[in-house]
Amino acid sequence: MSTAVGGRPRVRTTSGVVEGRTSPDGTAVFRGVPYAAPPVGPLRFAAPAPPAHWDGVRDAGSYGPTAPKVPYPEPFASLLCDPEIPGEDCLNVNVWTPDPAPGARLPVMVWIHGGALTRGSAAVPVYDGSAFARDGVVLVSFNYRLGVLGYGLFPDAPANRGLLDQIAALEWVRDNIGAFGGDPARVTVFGESAGAISIGSLLAAPRAAGLFARAVLQSGAPGVLTRDRVRAMVRRMASLLKVKATAGAFTEVPLPTLLAAQAAVLRRSNPLLGGAAFGLVAEPATVPLDPLEALTAPGAPGASADVPLLLGWTAHEHRLWLAPTGAMRHLDRLGPLTVALARRRGGKDRAAVRALRTLLPEAGPAEIAGNLLADRLLRDPLRLVAGARRAAPSFVYEFAWPSGIPGLGACHALELGFVFDTLHVPEAAWLAGPDAPQALAAQMHAAWVAFAVDGDPGWAPWNGNGPPKVFGGPEPEEARGRAGADAPSATRRALP
């Protein structure tokens, strides 16, 4: 059922009727629709449970609560917008649709946000789905449990609860998106950073089979953490809280106290440099194998071999983590030691260092080390997935436009405002700086739409050794060394 009452669109879901809003451009928008029960009380560390049914009409005019999390520390909080909306019903979805009528059978894109599996939400303004709806795509975004609530490893709770939330959201899409004008057989999942890492696991998860037809992995590679590495975070929290490292004990801890302990242990973890972390683990019920192994199994098609892939990275991934804090200056002072440590941590040989020095003759130790680690963590595994024997094609890109903020270059997450075509949103300038090129956003956004519509973003599939499609810059080897210092200096924010 789809109706409009007083200019407000209504759709019947499997749990009840929701009433959205119609934007000035005619897009119907539904926000904060529950796809699972609130994860509170005995459900705090349980698998997602079905949402309760409701009578009457549920208002879906504003974003629902975000998953409990700790804020980004400075200086990252000035670069990465991360709204916090209080409330228990955080497992909710948002839908933008140009035609909320059953039978429209429009392509669907489902966004999985990033944030190192500890931060982020679907309410980030840059993730507004209006441009996708404008271009004939139904856009869905959702929240999932984060940090210890979603990924802490306990002996008395299911592992990978955040991934189970994502599967529940995709099942909601399968069962409900037709009522919003979408085609459940034409679903493309796309995500960045932790969202892309999640998609890597969804591609390898038997329970997610058939829930999507195409996938986009932006700056995040398939993989899992060791169980010991994830348990270490829980044990550190338990020590701070003076409780047992069990879900039962953690359930008794008030949520603000739990999040304060999580914030304390997160200070000792770095996405680039490593350490204990919250993350996905291999386990029989969700991800039986390391997703990278499952997707690249030699001699036979890997998992989801029939799912076309669009995957890529930015030219200066590492600078988001190193430049804002001044870490690049400190690493440069360490000189050869910085490169040696990065080479060891990244599993790279001396030939890799020599190749980078030839490619980037002006680069200092921090730039060389950052590239070594970004290659190991992101580019190498994504190339491996793209080059694996698969029945479906893979398309590879690099985003090379440098931010207007000095030092960031084409850093991690910079491409998001371009993919969503939301450069006009004030929060997009936090990372991109002023005067980001709208023409590049139109080009990149159109490629993502084209991939969702027919599986072809507009360039040749990856053949294993050719260059990727480059957005916003020179060829990849040139872009890797750009400093992003060519924006007007009078309007740029400087980094430490």
List the catalytic residues: 193, 317, 412
**Residue given tokens 């109706």 in the structure block:** 3
CA-to-CA distance for 34 and 29, rounded, in angstroms? 15
Q: Parallel, antiparallel, or unpaired for β 309-314 and 182-192?
A: unpaired
Q: How many CB atoms lie within 10 A of CB 156?
A: 12
Q: How many residues does the chain have?
A: 496
Between CA 20 and CA 284 the distance in angstroms is: 39
Rounded Cα gap, residues 225 and 301, in angstroms: 24
Strand partners, 144: none
CB neighbour list of residue 120: distance below 8 Å, 6 or more residues apart: 69, 82, 113, 114, 146, 194
Residue 172: which residues within 8 A CB-CB, separation 6 or more? 14, 35, 36, 93
Evaluate whether 193 touches 219 at the Cβ level (below 8 Å).
yes
Written as six digits, the tokens of 472 are: 């916003």
Q: How many CA atoms lie within 13 A of 194 on its CB side?
A: 26
How far apart CA 295 and CA 258 sit, in angstroms, is 36
Q: Is the separation of the CB atoms in 9 and 2 below 8 Å?
A: yes
* Gap between the Cα atoms of 106 and 99, Å rounded: 8
